[in-house]
Structure 1
Amino acid sequence: MRRVCLTLPTDRACAATIRAVAEEAAYGARRFGVEVRLLVLDSSDAPVLAEHRKAVAALPPAPGVIVHHLDEDEQRILLREVIARSGVAEPDRILGLLLPDRVSYGACTDRAFLVAEALGCTSVHRRDSDSRYQYLDGEPVFPLHHELTALGRPAADVAGLVSRSRLDPACAGRPVAMVGGSFVGEMSVDVAEIRRLDPAVYEDVVGLSIPPGYPEIWRRNLIDESFRGAGTAAFTADRTTLTSVSPTRVDMCNIAFDREVYGRMPLPPATDTIGSDYFLIHLVHDARLPGVLHNRHIVNFHTGERRSEAGFLAYQLRFAKFLLAVPHFDAVYAGTREAGDTLLDPEGHVRASAVAGLIRTGTQVDRAEHTARLDVLDRSYRALGGRYATAAELLAARRDRLLDEARRDMEEFALLTDAWEALTHASRPHDRTEPLHDSVKGIA
């Protein structure tokens, strides 16, 4: 039986989301006859973790669904076993990259990839704690439907199952590597506030995320579309496209990858950096691997923590680190776009060594570029005043540290890429001489 992993990484209260994602898991098992491993990777503090334990224990049994709820201690035990079995160099450093003591959007998903490998899954389907499903005629609209319909199948076989195909015929023999949608509802709450307070400052700040070289009219359109997902239109009917999916059209709260992608390449483990988990979306696109774009968009909302002063400052730090990472990733993506099909081996699989070389090239960004970006943020936030001036002070106090981390994050991504295939192989059941650790035994 086909086995898939539906994962929800979280570090905040989301009992309602756990229940909703469990409903999606039950739907997938019932509708497609697959075994769904619902994986909750929980980095919450003790009181919230206890709430989540109760929520998981109260989930109604569903045929074909097995739930795994792992706190960080349990995740660490599994990771230590996998790292030791893999024989990779610098095991403690690798563990620190996979399970850092700070927020990492890429690392939490990398952990999901490794657990999925340990569970024998063929795909990973990711959701986020601050998201809900749309409804049509009183029923939730689950993205898992399109993900299980298409993922891993030859694109030529999927062409008749979608609303339209815009895929290059030369790629029709390749399997669908990614299926994704976006979100509807609120855009990023803090970025939205900047836009409301001063559109010119918004253009200056968000413009730092746009690669250089775009004609001005395109640049303005990209700025206008950034951080907005799929807008606010409600779901009325399915629209699916077989294509090389543009990274600007999907979101990591609504994404699924075939294991032939994440089994070979990890996500960047950068800490406190929004957008660091989008790397595989770009890689799938640039390597011309087929994907399906759908409109079963997740409903985005912001938790109380995101609206607090502490949450505001934490986001501004993560946003600043994202803007410092952009020149590095732009350099890598320029390389992957130029490489195209040559990123794949003769069997059509991603060549991690080729990508690692491009990542190392991407570390070579002039420090002056980063300094200029921090100068724009400092000037912009002080002009906005209020709590943005407070954020400017925070960034100024951490300026040297932020500049050092920008390059080190890419170097560590290259290091993890070098170790990744050994880690995924060591995770798999057929490579294991001992039973899977008790921490990953699930609840049926």
Structure 2
Amino acid sequence: MRRVCLTLPTDRACGATIRAVAEEAGYGARSFGVEVHLLVLDSSGAEVLAEHREVVASLPTVAGVVVHHFDEDDQRTFLREVIARSGIPAPDHVLDLMLPDRVSYGACTNRAFLIAEALGCTSVHRRDSDSRYQYLDGEPVFPLHHELTALGRRAADMTGLVSRSRLDPACADRPVALVGGSFVGEMSVDVEEIRRLDPDVYEDVVGLSIPSGYPEIWRRNLIAESFRGAGTAPHTGDRTTLMSVSPMRVDMCNIALDREVYGRVPLPPATDTIGSDYFLIHLVHDARLPGVLHNRHIVNFHTGERRSDAGFLAYQLRFAKFLLSAPHFNAVYAAMKEAGDALLDTEGHVRASTVAGFVRDSTRVDRSENAGRLAVLDRSYRTLGGRYATAAGVLVSVREQLLDEARQDMEEFALLTDAWEALTAASRAHHRPELGPDLFHEPVRGIA
């Protein structure tokens, strides 16, 4: 039976989301006859973790659904064994990259990738804790429907299963590697506030993420589309497009990837950096692997913490690191775009060593470019005043650290990419059929 991993990484209270994603898992098992492994990767504090354990324990048992709720101790136990089995150099450093003591959007998803390998899954389907499903005619609209319909199928066999095709016929024999949608509702709360306070400052700040040399009309369009998702229109019916999916059209709260992609290249493990988990979307696009774009968009919302002063400052740091990562990632994306089909070997597999080389090359980006970005950010935030001026002061105080980390993050991404195929192979070897669905010798917390 086909096994798939529906994962929800979290570090905050999200009992309602756990219940909703469990409902989506049940839908997938019933409708497609697959075994859905619902994987909750929990980095919450003790009180919230206890609440989540109660929520997971209360979930109804559903045929074809296996629930795993792993706290960080569970995840560390798994990672230590897999890393030791892989035989890779610098095992302690790799463990730190996989389970850092700071927020890392890429690292939490990388852990899901390795656990999915150990569970024998063929795909990973990711949701986020600050999202809800849309409803149509009183029923939730689950993205899993399109993900399970298309993922792994030969693109040419999708005729009649999608609304339209914009795929290059030369790619028709390749399997669908990515299925995704976006979000509707609130755009990023802090970025939206900048736009509302001063549209010119907004253009200056968001424009720092756009590669240099773009024609002005393209640059303005990219700025206008950034951070906005799919708008606010409600779901009224399915629309699906077979295509090379643009990274601007999908969100990591609403995405599924085939293991042929994540089994060969990880996500960047950068800490405190928004957008760092979008790398594989660019890789799939630039390698001309087929994807399906759908409109079962997830509803985005922001927790109270995101609106607090502490949440504001935390986001501004992550946003600044995103802007400083841009010249490095843009260099990699440009190299991957130029490589195109050469990113794949003769059997259609992604060449991880080629990707690692591009990442390593990006560390040579001139540091002065990022120093200029920080200067623009400082000037812009002081123009806005108030808590933005406070954030500017905080960013100045860690200026050198930020500049160092922008390069170091790419060096560590290259290192992890070099080790990744050994880690995924060790994860697959970790699977023990005699233990059933569990990854550990002792029963995991949750439902089996």
TM-score category, normalised to shorter length: over 0.9
1:119–1:429 CA contact under 8 A, matched in 2: no
Aligned to 2:61: 61
- Measured against aligned partners, the alpha-carbon deviations of 1:175-206 in whole angstroms (never above 9, x if no partner) come to 00000000000000000000000001000000
Report how far residue 438 of structure 1 moved.
3.5
Describe how 1:108-119 pairs up with structure 2 within 5 A.
108-119=108-119
Alignment-mate amino acid for residue 290 of structure 1: P
2:224 paired with 1:228: no
Query: SS state of the match for residue 102, structure 1?
Result: coil
- 2:7 partner SS: strand
- Matched AA of 1:73: D
Where does residue 89 of structure 1 map in the other structure?
89
Q: Distance in 1 between matches of 2:89 and 2:443?
A: 25
- Taking structure 1 as the reference length, the TM-score comes to 0.98
Q: Any idea what the Cα deviations from partners look like across 1:215-246, whole Å, max 9, x if unmatched?
A: 11111111111100000000000000000000
For the pair 1:325 / 2:325, whether they are aligned, the reply is: yes
What are the equivalent positions in structure 2 for 1:201-220 lying under 5 Å apart?
A: 201-220=201-220
Q: In structure 2, what is the Cα distance between the partners aligned to 1:364 and 1:136?
A: 50
The equivalences for 1:369-408 within 5 A come to: 369-408=369-408
Q: 2:80 maps to which residue?
A: 80
Identity, % of aligned positions: 82
Contact residue 185 and residue 231 of structure 1 kept, 8 A = yes
The corresponding residue for 2:282 is 282
Moved over 3 A (4+): 429-436, 438-442
SS at match of 2:160: helix
Deviation at 1:212, TM superposition (A): 1.4
The answer to whether the 8 Å contact 2:328/2:410 transfers is yes
Give the distance between the partners of 2:86 and 2:96, measured in 1 at CA: 16
The equivalent of 1:48 in structure 2 is: 48
1:254 partner letter: N
The one-letter code matched in structure 1 to 2:259 is R
Identify the range of structure 1 (158-167 vs 26-35) with the bigger mean alpha-carbon deviation. Answer: 158-167
Aligned residue for 1:407, secondary structure, equals: helix
Matches within 5 A, 1:76-225: 76-225=76-225
The AA in structure 2 aligned to 1:327 is: P
CA deviation digits over 1:140-199, x for unaligned, max 9? 000000000000010011122000001011100000000000000000000000000000
Superposed CA RMSD in Å reads: 1.2
Q: Indicate conservation of the 8 Å contact 1:359/1:414, yes or no.
A: yes
Deviation sequence 1:258-292 (CA, Å, 0-9, x none) = 00000000000000000000000000000000000
How do 1:305-316 residues align onto structure 2 when only pairs under 5 Å count?
305-316=305-316
Give yes or no for contact 1:425–1:431 (8 Å, CA) kept in 2.
Answer: no
| 1:342 corresponding residue in structure 2 | 342
CA shift for structure 1 position 210: 1.0
- For residue 213 of structure 1, give the secondary structure of its aligned residue in structure 2: coil
Give the AA of the match of 1:30: R
Over 3 Å counting, the alpha-carbon distance change for 1:58 and 1:431 in structure 2 is closer
Distance 2:431 2:42 in 1: 26
Q: For residues 159 and 201 of structure 2, what CA distance do their matches in structure 1 show?
A: 44
Contact residue 426 and residue 432 of structure 1 kept, 8 A: no
Q: Distance in 1 between matches of 2:242 and 2:433?
A: 41
Distance in 1 between residues matched to 2:65 and 2:430, nearest whole Å: 22
Q: Is the 8 A contact 2:382 2:389 kept in 1?
A: yes
Task: Provide the C-alpha distance between the structure 1 equivalents of 2:63 and 2:317, rounded to a whole number of angstroms.
Answer: 43
Hey, what's the Cα distance between the residues in 2 that align with 1:169 and 1:105?
34
Cα shift at 1:433: 11
Counterpart check, 1:437 vs 2:440: yes
**Unpaired stretches in structure 1, ≥5 consecutive residues:** none
* Alignment check: 8 A CA contact 2:118 2:430 kept: no
| Cα distance in 2, alignment partners of residues 409 and 439 from structure 1 | 35
Q: Give the Cα separation in 2 of the matches to 1:257 and 1:87.
A: 27
Local SS of the residue matching 1:70: strand
The residue aligned with 1:426 is 426
SS at match of 1:241: strand
- Could you tell me whether the CA contact under 8 Å between 1:29 and 1:35 is conserved in 2? yes
- 1:2-21 alignment, distance < 5 Å: 2-21=2-21
Give the whole-Å Cα distance in 2 for the aligned partners of 1:434 and 1:324: 47
Q: Residues of 1 paired with 2:403 and 2:379: CA distance?
A: 17
Q: Is the contact between residue 195 and residue 201 of structure 1 (CA under 8 Å) also seen in structure 2?
A: yes
Q: 1:87 to 1:432 in 2, by over 3 A?
A: farther
Unaligned runs of 5+ in 2: none
**Secondary structure of the structure 2 residue equivalent to 1:257:** strand
Checking the alignment, whether the CA contact within 8 Å between 1:181 and 1:296 is kept in structure 2 is: yes
CA contact 1:86–1:423 (8 Å) conserved in 2: yes
- Aligned partners of 1:70 and 1:440 also within 8 Å: no
- Cα distance in structure 2, aligned partners of 1:433 and 1:168: 41
Superposition map of 1:252-271 within 5 A? 252-271=252-271
Partner of 2:272: 272
Taking a change above 3 Å as real, the CA distance of residues 440 and 382 of structure 1, as seen in their structure-2 partners, is farther
For 2:418 and 2:224, how far apart are their aligned partners in 1?
37
Name the aligned partner's letter for residue 407 of structure 1.
R
